[in-house]
Structure 1
C-alpha cells in the first residue's frame, strides 16, 4: 500500500504531462481536466488499498482508458445529433426552463448551499475559488498556500461531499 503523500507527490510531479496526454486524446482541455480528476479518484482508491509496483504507469493507464472512453462518448453524442437533427429541437431552453425544472433547480441549489455550509472552512474556500470563481487548481493552491495536490484533494473532497448530499437527498424523495 502507498501513503497519500506518496500518491500526491506522484500526481504533483506528473500532472501537467498527464493533462497533455489526456488532451491529446480527448481534444478538449475541460474534458482532459475532468478525466484527470476521475483518474485521480480511481487511482487513490486502488493505491491506498493495495501495493502497486509502478504507480505512475498505473495512473497513466487509467488516464488513457478514461480519455478514450470520453472521446468515444463525445463521438457518439455528436453522431446522434447529426443522425437526428430533430434532437436539437428537443433540447430544453436553458433561459426559460419550465416551472417543474425551475423548482427542481431551486431545491438542488438549496441542498447544495447546505452541503457547502457543512464543509470545513479551508475545503469550503477551495471549492468556492475553484467552482464559483473559476480559479485553476494552481491558483487555488496559491491562494490557500498549499501544494497543488492538497488543493486538488480539497476541491475533490468538497465536490464529493456535495455530490453525496445531493444524491442522498434525491434518493429520499
Structure 2
C-alpha cells in the first residue's frame, strides 16, 4: 500500500465522524460535505509521518475549516431567519436533501439547530465539540487558537444560551411541554378531535402578517375555527418542534434547521388558551429561544 492509499484508508475510517462534526457545527449538509472535502485535501498535502494522532488531527482540521466558514457566513451577514414564508413550508421535499435533513434533526434536534445558529462562531464550535463529541478542551483550544480555559468558558457560555432561563418551575414547564407535544402530534396527524382536546374553548390564534399567506386573518377565535386551521398547519408540522420561547413553552418551525416561524404558546389548566405565529425577521431576532431541558421531565 503506497502513502496515498494509506491516507485514503485513514480518511475513510474517520469520514463519518468528520461529517457528523461538520454537520452539527454548520447545520448544512452541503457545507459539511465541502468542509470534509477540504479536510481531505489538507490531509493529502500533509506529511503523514508527522501526524501523531490522526483522529485528533482530522477533527482539529475539519473544525478549523468549519470555524472559518461560520466566520465567513457571519461576515456576509447571512440571514438565517425568515428565509421561508409560512405558505412555502407544506412540502418537506421542496429543497435540500430530505434524507440528510431527517438524519441531522433526529440526531441533534431542530430546536438545538435553531439555537446553535444564534451562537457566535467560537461558541458554537466549542459547544459542539465538547458537549456533542466529548473533545477535550485542550484540543478545542487548538481549533480556536485560544487557551484551554478560554475554550471552556466559551462552551459554558454557549451551554447557558442553549439551555435558556425558564420563567416557570420545572414541573410547570413539563406540564406545558406535554400539552404542546400533544398539540403537535394531533396537528401532524390531522386529527381535529385530538386538536380540540388540547384547545380551550375560547382559544385565540394571533399572527403577524409575515406568518400568513395572503388573505388569511391575523386573528382567529374559537376552538373549532382554530382547530380547522391547525389541520392545514399540520402539513407544515413536519418541521416543527417544541422549544423554550421567552422562558416558557413554545414551538419553532425550522425547515432544514433554519428558523422560519415561532409559535408563542399560552397554556392554562392543561389547555392552550392562545398562541401567536411570529415570522417577521425582526421579531424572530428579538425572541429568546432555547432548548427545552429534558431533565424537566423528571419533575
TM-score range, shorter chain: 0.3 to 0.5
The structure carrying a bigger helix percent of its residues is: 1
Which of the pair is proportionally richer in strand? Answer: 2
TM-score, length-scaled by structure 2:
0.25
Which is higher, the Rg of structure 1 or of structure 2?
2
Could you state the TM-score of these two structures normalised by the residue count of structure 1? 0.41
